[in-house]
Chain A
């Protein structure tokens, strides 16, 4: 059986939203588009920047750019998802460059949770560890893993967003996953060391 590994980006109902409606500036079409895509764009920006306010602004700006640049969008060349995340990636990179620093997020905030069931707590801890490890990657590695697996773009589309060949994306993805695994291995050992001390 074929197994899906790519995350499905939001699907839009053809009957309700079409590219021509968006190009015509129809409010309803854009509202639906916004409802469907904003959370994804926001999530991507947040995971890259670690800053909720910045991510919200970036996501909003991506939509304004979508409006401005939709006429230039060529669906034959790029899927809508890839186009949206090309814009999102560009804006995020601009932001990070302006900001002049790597993304940072308060680890203590991530750790502040109410009481959870043991399984849920464990799943949450794993997720947080993964998010921390992702943020420790280089910006290029973060981008390739998020675009490929979180957003669900193909290697070719990710390459277009990053300005790389698909082959380079695949090599980068391998190195990024390997680096991520190493980071997670280190992460997993930390609590054990702590427990040993106590």
Chain B
């Protein structure tokens, strides 16, 4: 039994008063009365919008957890869809979006991985579980995130350290890179520099560089692949990790693979629904978050919608609510007695045909929550609230 009784409280207060040495019985009684007044304050009704928003976050989060475990790049290297996205991200983040648009890499098949040193943090587990935030991995370190080369047809995208300066080029990440008068070099290329190279593969397998861009030192470049669990005001939560958009979402590329590659690629974070599978590249921050440079949407996730209104009709396989067709499936949970005219709140997954496959349909009386009934102060017995399975302490 979790409830205190008044006598118990009085006893506590008397004991404390005795320790304090200066409280009269009247004061103790007055303090007990004050405690009763606090207890009778009751709940502050939450704003309806906030209530619904929180509910949506919770349900979206539950769905996301059930759909995909935490994954990092290392868990996904064998997946061709990922490789395509990664190649595009490498390009987008290192040689610029314009090059991406020019090559159309995101939309093309056939990107291959030539060098698996692109494996992201060494702690990444192929099973997909990463229980602790990855420690910072310095560029060039074993298992670090540089040294990746992605080849898409004759085009290659390489991020690696300069190992040797050669006549007419460099050895970068074990690969011969040739420069020409056309090569656009950004920054001072030295032995040891971390660079991003974009170019074409010659017959001898060297890369003829179209551009070489020196990367910032002392940063940890990571790629994170996982399910969007939450859309935050300044970014996303992906696979349990916070992804922050630098300078706001408008500066971060969010790409939907269903959109033709030459269409405007920018979209706000709201375009990514919880449940989407995304690959993020960016800088690992000291707090474990990722400062995103690019976000590629690999699978457009579940778009959850909430519908509130009266049931207008009972239709085959569901209901018509507020002009929207709700389909009831075997997984749909229905709370309350729902008939034509009943006000309901439903949430579900938007289908391609515009209908909603309902996850739940709840009779309106429960939303927003009514203030919790307060037990009588002098009454006995009601339990203060643990679920029954948890009552024992």
Contacts and interface: CB of A to CB of B under 8 A. Distances in A.
A9 B386 contact: yes
B340 interface: no
Contacts, number: 254
A34 B376 CA distance: 24
Interface stretch (B16-24, B82-90, B91-99): B16-24
B316 interface: no
Nearest to B8: A5
Contacts of B45: 39
Given A60-B57, A64-B58, A19 B390 contact: yes
A150 B38 contact: yes
B391 A46 contact: no
Contacts of A18: 387-389
* Interface-central residue, B376, B380, B389, by most chain A CB under 10 Å: B389
Contacts of B59: 27, 30-31
A177 B16 CA distance: 11
A43 interface: yes
A178 interface: yes
Contacts of B372: 8, 10, 39-40
Contact of B369 (A30, A39, A130, A146): A39
Given A149-B39, A152-B384, A35 B366 contact: yes
Contacts of B369: 35-36, 38-39
A146 B38 CA distance: 7
Contacts of A170: 12, 15-16
A3 B6 contact: yes
B55 to A, nearest CB: 6
A11 B385 contact: yes
Contact of B387 (A19, A38, A145, A155): A19
A108 interface: no
Interface string B34-62: 11111111111111001101110111011
Interface stretch (A51-59, A93-101, A187-195): A51-59
Nearest to A42: B46
A173 B37 CA distance: 14
Nearest to B370: A39
B385 A5 contact: no
Contacts of A43: 42-44, 46
Interface of A: 1-14, 17-20, 22, 25, 27-28, 30-31, 33-36, 38-40, 42-43, 46-47, 52-53, 55-56, 59-60, 63-64, 67-68, 75-83, 126-127, 130-131, 134, 145-146, 148-150, 152-157, 170-171, 173-175, 177-178, 180-181, 184
7 contacts: A4-B6, A5-B4, A6-B39, A9-B386, A33-B387, A39-B46, A42-B50
Given A75-B390, A174-B20, A177-B35, 17 more contacts: A8-B382, A14-B389, A28-B333, A28-B335, A38-B46, A47-B44, A52-B50, A56-B53, A64-B61, A64-B230, A68-B240, A149-B36, A149-B39, A157-B2, A171-B19, A174-B13, A175-B20
- Which 7 residue pairs of A and B lie closest in terms of their CB atoms, listed nearest first? A9-B385, A56-B50, A174-B16, A60-B54, A14-B388, A3-B6, A80-B386
